[in-house]
Each structure stands twice: as structure tokens, then as C-alpha cells.
Amino acid sequence: MNLDLLFVGTGGSAPTARRGLPSTLVRRGGEHVLVDCGEGTQRQLMRAGGLVELDLVLLTHLHADHWLGLPGMLKTFDLRERSAPLTVAGPEGTARALGDLLRITGGVRYPLEILELAGGAQLRRDGWTVHALDVEHRTRARGYALVEDVRPGRFDPDAARALGVTEPRDFGRLQRGETVGAVRPEQVMGEARLGRKVVLSGDTRPCDAIRLAAHGADVLVHEATFTSVERARARKTGHSTAAQAAELAAEAGVRLLALTHLSARHRPSEALEEARAIHAGTVLPRDFDVVEIPFPERGTPELRPGAGRTRAPAGGAGGLDDPDAEPRDG
């Protein structure tokens, strides 16, 4: 099953000409999960090929730059006569804040479920689980770990044949955990394999909740609002530096670290250089970049620059002829 991350908005606090406000789209098979929804997110998604029918929205916290794009998006779904249910989950206060704005905008007609997740809460999905993490920001905030179910081990057809099982349908029964005659599944199946794990920090100081959840993660998406020259400001405002994010990723054994929520006051190349000096497996995505996440036995997570942009905006903005295009920095 395919799993990737589309970086819809990678800036922090305020949009720039090159980076939109925070939003990341997780695509797993046919399921679409949006993590945060800053102002302008639905337009960004349209530039990335169209406003997809979301299944779940996860809000990390209720600072304006992380969720004020959501009411407009929900109304757009309503105008398109959406009928499928949608779940929005976030920290304490999400129901009241979103409910107040929806009352102003007229509400929606499709089934909308709003959940408030405390740290440690779990939200079960088909084949994977969302774990809400109690992170450390200036307000109630959550990070999220998206963890796939454990997968069965590999089936060994030669071992099955040696034990007298020859029918293809019986091979399938063994793979589903059934016993065939005297042959038990554990005799022909390899060790169970872990699913993939993606952790998204939201806005936070470096914290143990993310460090523990990210242990062995395939991808950690961690904020890097500042570089180390403003470490004191990062601590005061409840943010992280690029170096701190890299230190956490290295301690947790993360395969790929993706830095987001970059402040416009810092050059992306400086943040990336600072992080890579500590954790070599670091990238700094731009808007519309994609990280593909294969199963571990099939390869390593890979950044695909610009792979999410399927519709070039008017005038070629963001392309090779765009004078404002941000230099590629990882």
C-alpha cells in the first residue's frame, strides 16, 4: 500500500511568497488525512491537483496559523454537496472554536464529527492508529504518531510444499492464519513485520513525548522555527531550533527527518546545514514537495521535490522561470 506525505504549507506564523501556512497531507492508499489547515490550504491543494475528499483532519493546536483555513474548506465541501462523513480531531477547545466559526459561516450539511484528543488518546483507523502526543507549546498542543498495524511475516511456499500443502487456496488459508490439516501457519510464515510509522510534531519545544513516539520512525516531521542563534527565543516561545530537531531525531533513530514551520527570518540553507551536521538523514521540504515512504524492506523514505505540484500557477510561479523561486536546499 502506498504511503506518502504532501507538504502543502511549510512556513511558520505568517505566509511568504514561497511558503504557505502549516499543512501536511498524509496519503495512505485511498485515505487522505490532513494535519493542520492554515489559511490558504484549500487553494494550495487545488494547485496540487485538486481539493481531495478528506477522511480525517488532525489539528495540532489552535493558534491561528494552524487552523483558520479549515472553516472555509469545510464550507467548500458543503458547496460541492459532500455527503461522506468527515472527522476533525484536535486538542481541548477544538469543538468550541470550530463550532463558533461554523455557526458564523452557516454550518455544513454532511456528517461532521469533532473530537478532542487528550495526550495518550488513540484514534483507530483501517489498518493503522493515530496516537495523540502531549507536546510542549505555549498552549494545549498535540503531536501525532501514525502507526500502521503489524504485518504478517513472509509466506514460504517451499516449506508448505515440503509439509504436504500444494493447493494455492490452502496457501491463502495459511497466510490468513488458518491451520491446514496438520500444518500450522507458524510453520510456513516468517516473523511478523512492523508497519510504517510517521510522527508529526506540530509546534513544540523538544520534548520526551515526541522523542519516545519517534523511536525507529520512518519519518519524523518536526518543526524548526529557528536556528541555533535564536535558541533562547525558541525556548521562550515554545518552539525548536533545527539543531534541536536533529538531535531528537538522532536519539530516536529516525530514518528521515523533515523540517517544517520555518521562520522567514532564517535562510533555509542555514537551517538544513545546521540539522545535517547532527543527523545526516534530514531534508527541508518546500511547498508541494512529497516524501514517499516505502515499507522498510523495499527502500528508504525519499524526498521528491515538486512532485505534488500538478498544476502550474499562472505565470509559471515556482517554476524555473520564477524570479522569486526559493533555491533548492534539500
What are the binding residues? 61, 63, 65-66, 137, 203, 261
Terminal Cα-to-Cα distance of the chain (whole angstroms): 26
Report the distance separating Cα 260 and Cα 223, nearest Å.
5
- SS3 state at 46: helix
Report the distance separating Cα 290 and Cα 304, nearest Å.
5
Alpha helices in 2-54, H assignment, sequence order:
41-47
| Residues making up the binding site for Zn(2+) | 61, 63, 65-66, 137, 203, 261
In the set 65, 134, 218, 289, the catalytic residue is: 65
Are 234 and 257 contacting, i.e. CB atoms less than 8 angstroms apart?
no
For 132, the grid coordinates are: 495523540
List, in sequence order, every beta strand (DSSP E) within the chain: 3-9, 23-28, 31-35, 56-58, 86-90, 112-116, 122-125, 128-134, 142-148, 197-200, 219-223, 256-260, 282-283, 290-292, 302-304
Which residue carries 531525531 as its cell?
249
218 classed as catalytic: no
Residues forming the active site = 65
